[in-house]
Amino acid sequence: MKHLKVTSALLAAIMCVTMVMAPVAADETEAPSETQTVEVGDEKDAEESEENEPDVTEDRPLEADDQNEALDAVLAKGKCGKKVKWTLDKKGTLKITGKGAMKNYTTEKVGEDSYVSTAPWIKYASKIKKVVVSKKVTTIGAYAFCNCTNITSVSLPKKLKAINDEAFYNCAGLKSVSVPKKVKTIGISAFACCTSLAKINIPNGVKTISRAAFAKTAITGISIPKSVKTIEPYAFSECDKLKSITIPATVKELGHGVFYKCTSLVTVNIPIAGLSTMGERAFAGCTSLTSFKTPLTVTTLGSFAFDGCTSLEEAWISSKLDLASTGTFNGCPNLKGGNPYHYDYADQGESFKKDGFEYVVTFPEINGNGTVSVTAYSPNEEQIVFPNVVVYKDVSYKVTRIERNEAQGAYDNKVLKSVVIGSNVTSIANKAFGSCIVLESVTGGSKLTTIGREAFANCPMLKVFNISSKTLKKIGPYAFNGDDALKTLQIKKTTKLTKSGVKDSLCESGIKTVKVKKSKVKKYKKIFKKKNCGKKVKVKK
């Protein structure tokens, strides 16, 4: 196996150290306030009303003795924003109160390659166990709590909008965080190296998962919300307990090294369409990954994308991607499949023939949800049983639609007597079986929702029409036009038909009786009226 080349940028993103790796630009609008040690006395803290803020102490009027006791419990306090204050008590609770944004802090150099945050409580970092942010605070400042390794609990307000760069970097004792729904920004390395962090949510509203935001955490599974467009480099790198990830179709780009060395990763749920770019070494070193199905929409696949995935057996890659000289599957000794190490997808719109049927791929999914339409069938069969599924290029596709091939006139059949509709078919196209002049029987169709206009018109020998669908919603106009032998329409399971769904459906047909579910007789008598469906009929159970 070729050794992975780990860049300095990668090391910076994933290495957990007690000093911050590099500074970010400071907020120049306000200099950091100095920490104040509390004296016994009346501070002018009534600048903001805190009656509705979460309090560390019990919410009751303080007697004189209580006031002294409360003040004695406070270790330090100060300002951390234009209208935001902080208080640290002796029990280790750091309380952020006031309203608006916290200050963005930077770092200062304390050694040759070492930096510490300029946040005023950092000198008490070892004492901080709990952080409580009150409800009017909107932003957690950059570097605010980085390297506070003893924090085990964080309470964030509902109106919080942003968690800035490295805000909780290397909070190694933090086990879970509930990120409020209104948060739109989670900054670079915001939770990186929180090595005990096993549970965190990403709100629907976040558009970008920033660089190394959750690198080297203990999360075991995570679902990316549909608001996310980009997952930046190393976002989840070295999350060695991560077992599953769900990525929606809205995500267009996976940055390089995004899941680098996620050694427990087994399941990657990703749609067949959506993603366009996968960066270098995106899944490199994922030694538990056994199968990966690359979306058809991927046009850029970075080099060494799966380098060192030693358990990888199946990799589905579009044949349109050029894998030459990219090292895509370097160090994947168990990979099976065609040369070079991939199975081909079927593209949307691709047609193929099998067992007397012609198909076109309508949705090229490979996770069991792919679909095809039947566009033609053998004109020389007396009975046609439409299949539930068809296998093409080692993938099973559901047969969901029966079309009419106008060009070939394949359905103008002079031999066909019996049709059995497959259980996955949801729609029958307009005129699909029109002019099947010896057709006598149509059955099946347990998932059928739509019968198209004139779908069975001009079938003069048709006597039996028995559809078992519970979900039939529409019978198109003139669906049985000219079918004089068809006296009974049996749809005894359907419950979804409406007045508009049967408009003109029985016009010019021989149908005299419609058999329906007992509980629907009264309702269906109202919709199968001559004025609406075009034919005077009896509705029976």
Q: Digits of tens for pLDDT over the chain (541 positions)?
A: 333 334 444 444 455 654 444 333 333 333 333 334 333 333 334 334 443 444 333 334 444 444 444 554 889 999 999 999 999 999 999 999 999 999 999 988 877 777 789 999 999 999 999 999 999 999 999 999 999 999 999 999 999 999 999 999 999 999 999 999 999 999 999 999 999 999 999 999 999 999 999 999 999 999 899 999 999 999 999 999 999 999 999 999 999 999 999 999 999 998 878 899 999 999 999 999 998 988 888 888 889 999 999 999 888 877 677 665 578 888 998 887 654 455 566 778 889 999 989 999 998 776 667 899 999 887 778 999 999 999 887 788 999 999 986 644 444 678 889 999 999 999 999 999 998 999 999 999 999 999 999 999 999 999 999 999 999 999 999 999 999 999 999 999 999 999 999 999 999 999 999 999 999 999 999 999 999 999 999 999 9
Strand-pair category, 464-467 with 513-515: unpaired
The predicted structure's pLDDT at residue 108:
84
Partnered with residue 269 across adjacent β-strands are: 246
The predicted structure's pLDDT at residue 21:
40
| CATH class belonging to 1-16+192-345 | alpha beta
Contacts of 23 (CB under 8 A, 6+ apart): 106, 107, 108, 115
How many Cβ atoms from other residues are within 10 Å of residue 61's Cβ? 6
Contacts of 37 (CB under 8 A, 6+ apart): 76
3-state secondary structure of 526: helix
351-540 belongs to CATH 3.40.50.1860: no
Token pair 């091939």 is found at 405
Single out the residue of 100, 205, 229 nearest to residue 157, CA to CA: 100
Token readout for 478 is 């003139």
Q: 325: exposed, middle or buried (C-beta count within 10 Å: 0-12, 13-18, 19+)?
A: exposed
The predicted structure's pLDDT at residue 431:
92
Single out the residue of 301, 256, 257, 259 nearest to residue 276, CA to CA: 301
| 354 φψ region: left (φ > 0), alpha (ψ -120 to 50), beta (else) | beta
Would you list the domain boundaries of the chain? Answer: 1-16+192-345, 26-38+50-142+151-158+180-189, 351-540
The predicted structure's pLDDT at residue 366:
66
Token readout for 96 is 């952020």
Buried b (16+ CB within 10 A) or exposed e, 210-241: bbbbbbbbbbeebebbebbebbbbbbbbbbbe
Give the max Cα distance, the chain: 102
pTM of the model: 0.67
Token pair 């309380």 is found at 95
The predicted structure's pLDDT at residue 16:
65
The predicted structure's pLDDT at residue 264:
97
Q: Are 114 and 136 in contact (CB under 8 A)?
A: no
Strand-pair category, 314-316 with 513-515: unpaired
The predicted structure's pLDDT at residue 335:
83
Strand-pair category, 314-316 with 357-363: unpaired
Please indicate whether the domains covering 1-16+192-345 and 351-540 agree at the CATH topology level: yes
